Amino acid sequence: MNKQLIFKKRPVGLPDADTWNLETNEIPELKDGEVLIQNHYISLDPAMRGWMNDTKSYIEPVAIGDVMRAGSIGKVVKANNHPKFNIGDCIVGWGGVQQYLVTNGDNCYKVNDSIAPMPKYLGVLGMPGMTAYFGILEVGKIKEGDIVLVSGAAGAVGSVVGQIAKIKGCTVIGVAGGKQKCDYLLSDLGFDVAIDYKSENILTALKEKCPKGIDVYFDNVGGDILDAALTILRKRARIVICGAISQYNNTGHVKGPGNYLSLLVNRASMQGMVVFDYTDDYGEAAKEIGTWMMQGKLSSREDIYDGIENFHDVFQRLFSGDKMGKLLLKVI
Amino acid sequence: MNKQLIFKKRPVGLPDADTWNLETNEIPELKDGEVLIQNHYISLDPAMRGWMNDTKSYIEPVAIGDVMRAGSIGKVVKANNHPKFNIGDCIVGWGGVQQYLVTNGDNCYKVNDSIAPMPKYLGVLGMPGMTAYFGILEVGKIKEGDIVLVSGAAGAVGSVVGQIAKIKGCTVIGVAGGKQKCDYLLSDLGFDVAIDYKSENILTALKEKCPKGIDVYFDNVGGDILDAALTILRKRARIVICGAISQYNNTGHVKGPGNYLSLLVNRASMQGMVVFDYTDDYGEAAKEIGTWMMQGKLSSREDIYDGIENFHDVFQRLFSGDKMGKLLLKVI
C-alpha cells in the first residue's frame, strides 16, 4: 500500500491542512519497462507554492486530485525490464509526496549514495544547489571583486549562492531572519556581512553595511528587500530573480519593485531564471560543487523532519522561516 | 542681453509656472577659447522632469538658480580664439533654456545644417534618435522575426525605435495616445499594429493584438503599460527601461511593476539604459540613421513652438501628450 498526499483544493494565501488529503492506495502492477521506487526523502521547496496556482508558469500547475508534486530521492525496490535502473539503485526524481512511485524513469536519474548521503542530493547537489550555481554564475555573472548581496541567505539556495560567490573572490552580504541564521552565515559559511531583516530595518542596514553598493543581488524573497536592494545598485549591477517567497502567499497583488527605475539610472538589469533550463549541465555543476565540498570550501545543512503525515506542518516552515538549510521530509 | 529661464523651485508633481522665472541678463565677455552661441532651437524632453528632482541619478540635478538644463542647437555668433569652432558654425550642445550660451565647447559638437535642417539634430539625429538606436539594438538586441512592442510610440524616441525594428525585420506594435497618433504609426511609420491606450484597455488590447506574445518591450512610459507588457512576454524576452513618463509627476511612490515575476517564469530580463554611455558611437549611429532617412526607410516629425516665454506651456505637452513627434522650442 502507498500513502499519498493528494492535492484537493487550490489554496488562497498560506495553504491550510485542507489543501491536501492523505490517502492510502494500492500500488499498481509494474508494466514492462517500469520500476517501483520507495521514496526515502521528499524535498520541500518554496516553488511548490507556485505550482498550486492555476496560472501560466514555467511548469503546469498541479492538478486537483493528483499526488502533490515534489522532488524526491529513493531506492528501486522492484523493476520490470527497466533499461537503466536495477533493484537497489538510488534514484532522484519527481516522486511526489508519497511513499512509493511507479515510473518509466523519465526525469529520473541515478546517483551514488555512497559518495554523499541521500539528503545532499535534494539539497546542495540537487535542485537548490543547481539553482544557486547557474543563477549566480550564468545569470549573475559574478567576477572577482564583485559585491554580492543574497537574500534567503541561510536557505538551501542562498547559502550555496553566497559560498560560490566567496569561492569566486567576491564580498558577500547575506540577509536572513534571526540571530541564529546570521551567526551561521558568518561563522559557518564565511559570509562577510549578515543582516537580520527581522531585527534590523533593511534599508538602513543595507546603506550602512554596503556603503559601496552592490554589483549583484540574488533575490529569493522579493518585496521590501528587493526594493531596498534596488536603492544601492552600482553601475551595471545584475539582479537575479530566482524567487519571491515574501509574495507567494499574498492574497492580493504582488508588490512590484517601486524602485525599479534604479535599473535605468544605473544601467542595471533584472533577469529571471528557472533552473530546468540547465539540466544538460547538472552533471558538470554537481561535480564542481562536490569538489568544493571535499575541499572544505562549501558546506550545507539539511533540516529533516519525519513522516509523510506531518507534511503540512513541515511545509509551513518554508514560509515561517523556522528551519535551517534545506527542508526535507523523511518518509521511510 | 540674454533671456534666460532660471530654475527657481523644485516642483512636486507636474511643474507649474512658478518652477521657473524668465530673466534678462547681460551676456558676459568671452574669455580666451570661448564662443558665444545663439540658440535657435531648444529641446524639450521628458528626462528634464527627472533632472529637477534633488535625488541621485545618472546626472546631477539642476541647481536652484541655474539656467534650466536643455539640449539645444544654435550658431556661433562670436568667438575668442576657440580651437575648433568659428563664427557661423552650427553647434549642438547643452545650451539650456536661454537665448545665448557662452561656452568653451565642452560637450558641444558641430553639425552640418545643410545636410539636415537644425530641428533634426535635436530629434532623430540627436539624443532621442541615439536613445532609440542604442536602446533597441544594444539593449533590446533585436533580431529578425522578433515581435517588438514600444510605448510612447509616436514620440521622438518611440517612433525611431519602431522604425529601426521594422528595418531589422521585426513585427512592431506601437502604443500611443489617440487616433491621430495611431494613424501616424500605421500609415507614416509602417508599424504593424497600433494600440490607443486612451480608448482601449491596454491589457485586453495587448492580449488580442499580440497573441504570440512579445520578444522585446521598449518602455518609455512605465505604469500600467509596463505591467500589461509583462503579462505577454515570450521566453527570454528583453525589456528596455528607457523612461517612465507616466510616473515622473507622481507625488506619491512610483508604481512598481507588480507582474515582474513574469521575468522569472519567462527567463526574461529588464535592463535600464542611459544614452550618454554611447557618446563615442553617436557619429556612426547618426550616419546609419541618416542613410535610412535618405533611403526613405525612416522618417521623423518635429513639433515646434515659438518663443522662450512659452516654455512652461509647451513643456506641459510632454506630459499631456498633446504633440506629434519631437517637441522643440524655437527661440530665435
**Number of separate domains in chain B:** 2
Residues B309 and B213 in one domain: no
Measure B124 CA to nearest chain A CA, in Å: 21
Compare all CA atoms of chain A with the CA of B265 and give the residue at the minimum distance: A58
Residues of B in contact with A262 (CB under 8 A): 272
Residues of A in contact with B255 (CB under 8 A): 256, 258
Measure A294 CA to nearest chain B CA, in Å: 32
Residues A319 and A258 in one domain: no
Measure B236 CA to nearest chain A CA, in Å: 9
Residues of A in contact with B157 (CB under 8 A): none
Residues of B in contact with A274 (CB under 8 A): 264-265, 267
Residue B211 resides in a domain: yes
Residue A294 resides in a domain: no
The helix/strand/coil state of A159 is helix
Greatest distance between any 2 Cα atoms in chain A = 63
Chain B residues within 8 angstroms (CB to CB) of chain A: 56-58, 222, 227, 241-244, 247, 253-274, 277
Compare all CA atoms of chain A with the CA of B243 and give the residue at the minimum distance: A264
Helix (H) or strand (E) holding A79: strand A72-80
Q: Distance between CA A82 and CA B280 in Å, rounded?
A: 63
Q: Which residue has the cell 502533490?
A: A68
Residues B234 and B271 in one domain: yes
Residues B82 and B104 in one domain: yes
Q: Distance between CA B299 and CA B101 in Å, rounded?
A: 31
β-strand partners of A162: none
Inter-chain CB proximity A261 and B272 less than 8 Å = yes
Q: Distance between CA A228 and CA A209 in Å, rounded?
A: 13
B56, B269, B277 member nearest A271 (Cβ): B269
The pLDDT value given to residue A317: 95
CA distances from B99 to B29, B63, B72, B317, B330 (A): 16, 19, 10, 21, 10
Q: At residue B35, what are phi and psi to the nearest 5 degrees?
A: -130, 160
Residues B11 and B90 in one domain: yes
Residue among B151, B160, B150 at smallest CA distance from B126: B160
Inter-chain CB proximity A267 and B263 less than 8 Å = no
By the 10 Å C-beta count (0-12 exposed, 13-18 middle, 19+ buried), B213 is classed as middle
Residues of B in contact with A269 (CB under 8 A): 269-272
Q: Distance between CA A328 and CA A16 in Å, rounded?
A: 19
Q: Cβ atoms within 10 A of the Cβ of B77, count?
A: 12
| A122: its cell numbers | 535534494
Q: Which 3-state string (H, E, C) describes A37-73?
A: EEEEEEECCCHHHHHCCCCCCCCCCCCCCCECCCCEE
Please name the residue ranges forming H helices in B218-321: 223-230, 262-265, 282-294, 311-320
Residues of B in contact with A243 (CB under 8 A): 264
**Which of A265, A266, A273 is the mutation pick for testing B, counting most B CBs within 10 A?**
A265
Residues of chain A with pLDDT under 70: none
Residues A198 and A107 in one domain: no
Measure B115 CA to nearest chain A CA, in Å: 33
Q: At residue A329, what are phi and psi to the nearest 5 degrees?
A: -115, 125
Residues of A in contact with B270 (CB under 8 A): 260, 263, 269-271
Q: What is the pTM (predicted TM-score) of this model?
A: 0.94
Inter-chain CB proximity B267 and A254 less than 8 Å = no
Inter-chain CB proximity B241 and A257 less than 8 Å = no
The pLDDT value given to residue B195: 98
Range of the domain at A209: 127-276
User: Of the candidates A242, A261, A276, which is a domain's last residue?
Assistant: A276
Residue B242 resides in a domain: yes
Residues A119 and A142 in one domain: no
The pLDDT value given to residue A249: 87
Inter-chain CB proximity A270 and B263 less than 8 Å = yes
Residues A46 and A185 in one domain: no
The pLDDT value given to residue B251: 82
Q: At residue A163, what are phi and psi to the nearest 5 degrees?
A: -70, -40
Inter-chain CB proximity B241 and A227 less than 8 Å = no
Compare all CA atoms of chain A with the CA of B260 and give the residue at the minimum distance: A256
Residues A132 and A265 in one domain: yes
Whether residue A74 contacts residue A37, with contact meaning beta carbons closer than 8 Å, is answered with yes
Inter-chain CB proximity A268 and B271 less than 8 Å = yes
ipTM metric = 0.94
Residues of A in contact with B56 (CB under 8 A): 265
**Residue A69 region, left (φ>0) first, then alpha (ψ -120 to 50), else beta?**
beta
Chains A & B: contacts with CB separation below 8 Å: 109
Inter-chain CB proximity A272 and B266 less than 8 Å = yes
Q: What is the pLDDT of residues A48-84, one digit of tens each?
A: 999 999 988 889 999 999 999 999 999 999 999 999 9
Q: Distance between CA A244 and CA A179 in Å, rounded?
A: 22
Inter-chain CB proximity A256 and B227 less than 8 Å = yes
Measure A222 CA to nearest chain B CA, in Å: 9
Q: Which residue has the cell 557619429?
A: B283
Q: Which residue has the cell 534590523?
A: A200
Residue among A252, A310, A251, A326 at smallest CA distance from A14: A251
Q: At residue A16, what are phi and psi to the nearest 5 degrees?
A: -100, 180
CATH number at residue B307: 3.90.180.10
Residue A325 resides in a domain: yes
**Which of A224, A230, A271, A275 is the mutation pick for testing B, counting most B CBs within 10 A?**
A271
The pLDDT value given to residue A170: 98
Residues B115 and B223 in one domain: no
Residues of chain B with pLDDT under 50: none
CATH number at residue B271: 3.40.50.720
By the 10 Å C-beta count (0-12 exposed, 13-18 middle, 19+ buried), B251 is classed as exposed
Residue B281 resides in a domain: no
Chain A residues within 8 angstroms (CB to CB) of chain B: 56-58, 222, 227, 241-244, 247, 253-274, 277
Measure B272 CA to nearest chain A CA, in Å: 4
Residue among B239, B82, B221, B85 at smallest CA distance from B152: B221
Q: Distance between CA B239 and CA B225 in Å, rounded?
A: 12
Inter-chain CB proximity B222 and A266 less than 8 Å = no
Residues B118 and B139 in one domain: no
Residue A210 resides in a domain: yes
Residue B293 resides in a domain: no
Compare all CA atoms of chain B with the CA of A272 and give the residue at the minimum distance: B264
Inter-chain CB proximity B264 and A277 less than 8 Å = no
Residues of A in contact with B266 (CB under 8 A): 58, 272
DSSP B143-157: -TT-EEEEESTTSTT
Residues B166 and B96 in one domain: no
Residues of B in contact with A277 (CB under 8 A): 267
Beta-sheet pairing, A20-25 with B233-241: unpaired
Compare all CA atoms of chain B with the CA of A235 and give the residue at the minimum distance: B58
Helix (H) or strand (E) holding B73: strand B72-80
Q: Distance between CA A174 and CA A197 in Å, rounded?
A: 10
Inter-chain CB proximity A269 and B269 less than 8 Å = yes
β-strand partners of B239: B217, B270
